[in-house]
Structure 1
Amino acid sequence: MSFAPRSPADIVALIGAHPLAWVISRDFDATPLPLLAECDADGRLVSLFGHYARRNPQVAAFERDPAALILFSGPQGYVSPTLVAKPHWGATWNYAAVRVTAEMAFVPAETDASVRRLAAHLEPEGGWRVEAMGARYDQLARQIIAFRATVTGCEATFKLGQDEDEDTFAQIVRDHPDRALARAMQDQAP
């Protein structure tokens, strides 16, 4: 059974809805960072855009060796046998995850854009804007540096009940307490 997403758009949607990723350098240092997906004209993921605190040791690590592993986790959760009308059905864990390998490049000229684009993505319409910080924004912006991680590989696993029979799948979707997980299952339904 393949647990591949239905389309590359599903990968981009997962990153958009769950932007916090673990960014891991070759020395196994790791930092959780919110990232933005950048796509080509066909909607395929080509890079991830974000920023680091300049004092983070990974900045120097990536300047020495730009290879990165970036891990995203989407909807996920335990699926109890109590949700299913089969007496011998076993518990499982459903999840959607994306594993990206990338080459990091720091782009200091895009630091302001990284903050503004991330805020625009995360804030509701008419929400917070960097201008609300006044002069403090310039002071803080000097302490961060933008980067673009060019995707060299991407693997996604959307294990969301596709291997269940129709009745079992329907029972889980209907009764699972995590409605976000149930919606993700419906989106990837066989």
Structure 2
Amino acid sequence: MRQNPSFAMTDVTELRRVIARNPWATIVSGGEEGLVASHYPVLLDPARDDLTVVGHVGKPDDRILGLGERELMLVFQGPHGYVSPNWYGDVKAVPTWNYVAVHLSGVPEVLSTEENLKVLDDLVRHFESRLPKPRSMWEAPNDEAYISALEFGTAGFRLTPTRVVAKRKLSQNRPDNVVEAVIAELEAGGEYGQPELAAEMRRAHQARVAARG
């Protein structure tokens, strides 16, 4: 992802927020047969306060990704959406796409059986906790044999990135009135309504306004 200084995200707290809210990651690796990509949920490591993440892949994906053998890139895609030039008012403009994205790169550590089981358990608890009747990984009818087979078919990993590229392209290069107009269009629904992107734009815009005093 080409970086643009005016759109760069560098604050670790903000990066962690984006990752936590968008855990469905694209895992990219370059092997002997070219680029490959897999898609898995990935969580921030609960034992760390940096950008270290943990997750798992199936054993077939482990082989094509080369887990622990070479650098991987994890791509987290935040809110995104189309922006019409009509929303800018009567000025010269072309269509664009606003978005938030975080790329973490590094060589991951392959986890032990015990660590992998904890990551699998944490993943289940993380997503099940939102439900009225959450079901844990160890809950019946699952039994120890089933959980062992599940773990055997996966490879857990921990990645502390050695390279981070993050971008928040949210019309920061436009006047305040244009930013507000784009937010209003995204909030209004319609063909290109995108309330999550509108909320992300409003959050970033309010922070910029506050920083200006």
TM-score for both structures, normalised by structure 2: 0.79
Specify the code of the residue in structure 2 equivalent to 1:147. F
Query: Per-residue CA shift, 1:113-170, capped at 9, x if unaligned?
Result: 1111112222216523112451233322221121111211111100011111011100
How far has the Cα of 1:101 moved from its partner?
1.0
SS of the equivalent of 1:163 reads coil
Residue 199 of structure 2 aligns to a residue whose secondary structure is helix
Give structure 2 stretches of 5+ with no counterpart.
187-192, 209-213
Q: Aligned partners of 1:132 and 1:84: how far apart in 2?
A: 56
Pairwise CA distance, 1:59: 6.2
Which has the larger strand fraction?
1
Q: Quick check: 1:53 aligned with 2:58?
A: yes
- Equivalent-residue separation in structure 1 for 2:121 and 2:47 (angstroms): 21
Is 1:18 matched up with 2:22?
A: yes
Please give the alpha-carbon distance, in whole angstroms, between the structure 2 residues aligned to 1:172 and 1:88.
15
Opposite residue 12 of structure 1, the aligned amino acid is: R
Query: Does the C-alpha gap of structure 1 residues 70 and 30 become closer, same or farther in structure 2, counting only changes over 3 Å?
Result: same
Q: Deviations over 1:43-99 (max 9, x none)?
A: 431x21001112325367234x23111111111111012333224332111000011
Checking the alignment, whether the CA contact within 8 Å between 1:21 and 1:34 is kept in structure 2 is: yes
In structure 1, C-alpha distance between the alignment counterparts of 2:62 and 2:123, rounded to whole Å? 22
How many pairs are equivalent? 187
Q: Which of 166, 169, 181 pairs up with 2:197?
A: 181
Counterpart of 1:70 in 2: which secondary structure?
strand
Partner of residue 96, structure 2: 92
- CA distance in 2 between counterparts of 1:69 and 1:87 reads 39
Note the 1:120-131 alignment, pairs <5 A. 120-123=125-128, 124=130, 126-130=133-137, 131=139
The residue type paired with residue 152 of structure 1 is T
Q: Which residue of the partner structure matches residue 41 of structure 2?
A: 34
> Contact between 1:49 and 1:146, CA under 8 Å: does it hold in 2?
yes
Specify the SS of the correspondent of 1:49: strand
Query: Percent sequence identity over matched residues?
Result: 24
Is 1:111 aligned to residue 113 of structure 2? no
Evaluate the alpha carbon distance shift between residue 5 and residue 51 of structure 1 in structure 2; reply closer, same or farther with a 3 A threshold.
same
TM-score by length of 1: 0.88
